[in-house]
Structure 1
Amino acid sequence: MTTPHPGPGGWVEAWLSAPRISVYLAAAAGDRQRALDLYEWNTQLSSALLHDLAHLEVGIRNAYDQALTQHAQFVPHWTTNPQQVFAPVLRTKKVYDPSVGRRVSRRVDVNDKPRKALQRAISEAGGMNAPPGKIVAQLMFGFWRYLSSAAHEVPLWRPYLHHAFAAGTSRPDVDVRMGDLHELRNRVAHHEPLLSWNLVKAQQQLVELAGLISPDLAQHITTSSKVAALLASRP
């Protein structure tokens, strides 16, 4: 009678940490080899998702850049006008106050983060004389994600940014998809488990959003993606 193989040894915990592998062990009902197989599958799936998200991100940023360049009057280019594009917009929000140990209402400038992100991108690209395309490329997914937020409805979405998408596209619809995909991107970028994530829905959101920019882009993402095949091959 053959004795079952005990599976990978303690080096796995030393490599991944006990808390991290425990998630996969739970999903594999304690089977160490299947847990490791699940981890490998999760890593491959993360890479495939990053591939698709990268295609979407490039499409989003270029569509927004084109909309602002063609329809706004920022001279010489919108990337050189952080204070004008993201002028202070004050909103009352709940923020954590460490002095009282709880969230309190504060008037905050919701454009502070995008303004600083654009200023940082200008610096990283080489300064105010850097080519606009280089500055655009320095801006992270989170920057583009928040351009569809409610705070930008009047100053940016209605006059300019809606041109990035198919006619009649709703800003809230874009914002919901961008929010969900931003959260997913952060998760895969930090090598987190995707075992319980609704990735069928996420992939649908990604392709739908790409389709609002360009049906051809949506088709390319669909045909080049490995996500569906990986989902079907889960250990």
Structure 2
Amino acid sequence: MSLPYSTAQRWLSPHRLGVYMTVTSGDSHAALELYEWNAEVASACLRDVGHFEVIIRNRYEERLTPHQSDWTAKSSPLWVAENGIEQTRRKQRYSNRKSRDALDRALQDAPQATPGHIIANLMFGFWASMTRSERESTIWTPILSGIFPGKGRGPIHDQMTKLNNFRNRLAHWEPVFSNTTGLEFQLRKFDELFTLVDNDVANWVGARSTVLDTIDECPVPGLSLSVSSYLGRTPTDAE
């Protein structure tokens, strides 16, 4: 089934469709095929990122609960903790307020929610914010650092932040072949982070992942991305 160009333009917007039209030299049918492939790659990546999101929030919960049993409550002492110089304290107050706001949003639809429900309702950005520089002494060093053996807070925060941005771009069907998305680089960094947190789970997810297979199905010759390895797999494994 073909879709008239005018309909596709109204659906996707001239700007969004134009990205695909440029890559396919103005062939509207090929542009829509590429757009569909892009959505399939994004969906495959989101599946794997979703598995990571589950494990990271559970690893964080395992560390946070023994330290502060009521940490899922916005009234918890964890979200007012501050120390150091005044400049650092200002940043800690800001981050603490943002965390309380996130917990409040997680409770909006279920005021009587259990801690487990609250954790499941928290966005990935909440977990990424836990490794901000001002939280090195209040959260990273005493609580979370053991989740990432041999790694400092800075590199982990950088990876978590980039993964959150990548996740958001995927969720909005942004072009995976663009320099902004940088799919090959993003997948490599995601692989490193997942493997660091739990190599066994990363390999289990990788064995079932459709990311490599879907990338190889790119309908535009020469556009397909080269990913040397991913969650324990190589392109040969995907064949």
TM category (shorter chain) comes to: 0.7 to 0.9
Q: Report the Cα offset of residue 41 of structure 1.
A: 0.6
Q: Distance in 1 between matches of 2:163 and 2:192?
A: 12
2:231 maps to which residue? none
Q: Distance in 2 between matches of 1:135 and 1:108?
A: 22
Q: What amino acid does structure 1 have at the position aligned with 2:77?
A: Q
Q: Quote the sequence identity (%).
A: 36
Q: What amino acid does structure 2 have at the position aligned with 1:215?
A: N
Kept after mapping to 2: 8 A contact 1:91/1:108: no
Q: Report the Cα offset of residue 88 of structure 1.
A: 6.2
Q: Which of 205, 211, 220 is equivalent to 2:195?
A: 211
Q: Report the Cα offset of residue 221 of structure 1.
A: 2.2
1:142 maps to which residue? 125
Q: What amino acid does structure 1 have at the position aligned with 2:144?
A: L
Q: Report the Cα offset of residue 120 of structure 1.
A: 2.4
Q: Which has the higher relative contact order, 1 or 2, with Cα contacts under 8 A spaced 6 or more apart?
A: 1
Q: What amino acid does structure 1 have at the position aligned with 2:213?
A: A
Q: Distance in 2 between matches of 1:88 and 1:202?
A: 33
Kept after mapping to 2: 8 A contact 1:124/1:138: no
2:72 maps to which residue? 79
Q: Which of 155, 164, 174 is equivalent to 1:173?
A: 155
The 1:20/1:210 distance shift into structure 2, 3 A limit, reads same
1:16 maps to which residue? 12
Matching of residue 124 in structure 1 with residue 109 in structure 2: yes
1:222 maps to which residue? 206
Kept after mapping to 1: 8 A contact 2:44/2:210: yes
Larger Rg: 1
Task: Give 1 or 2: higher strand fraction.
Answer: 1
Q: What amino acid does structure 1 have at the position aligned with 2:174?
A: E
Q: Report the Cα offset of residue 159 of structure 1.
A: 0.3
Kept after mapping to 1: 8 A contact 2:81/2:138: no
1:46 maps to which residue? 42
1:99 maps to which residue? none
What is the root-mean-square deviation in Å for CA atoms of aligned residues?
Answer: 2.3
Q: Report the Cα offset of residue 107 of structure 1.
A: 10
Kept after mapping to 2: 8 A contact 1:88/1:109: no
Secondary structure of 1:80's aligned partner? coil
Q: Distance in 2 between matches of 1:163 and 1:122?
A: 29
> How many residues end up aligned between the 2 structures?
211
Q: Structure 1: where are the runs of 5+ without partners?
A: 1-5, 93-105
Cα shift readout 1:137-168 (whole Å, capped 9, x = no counterpart): 11111101111111211100100011323x32
Q: Report the Cα offset of residue 122 of structure 1.
A: 3.4
Q: Report the Cα offset of residue 8 of structure 1.
A: 4.4
Q: Distance in 1 between matches of 2:46 and 2:111?
A: 27
Cα shift readout 1:2-34 (whole Å, capped 9, x = no counterpart): xxxx98432211221211100110111212121
Task: Give 1 or 2: higher helix fraction.
Answer: 2
2:98 maps to which residue? 113
Q: Report the Cα offset of residue 108 of structure 1.
A: 6.8
Q: Distance in 2 between matches of 1:91 and 1:120?
A: 28
Matching of residue 155 in structure 1 with residue 138 in structure 2: yes
Q: Which of 155, 174, 187 is equivalent to 1:192?
A: 174
Q: Distance in 2 between matches of 1:117 and 1:150?
A: 19
Kept after mapping to 2: 8 A contact 1:148/1:175: yes
TM-score (norm 1): 0.81
Q: Distance in 1 between matches of 2:92 and 2:162?
A: 26
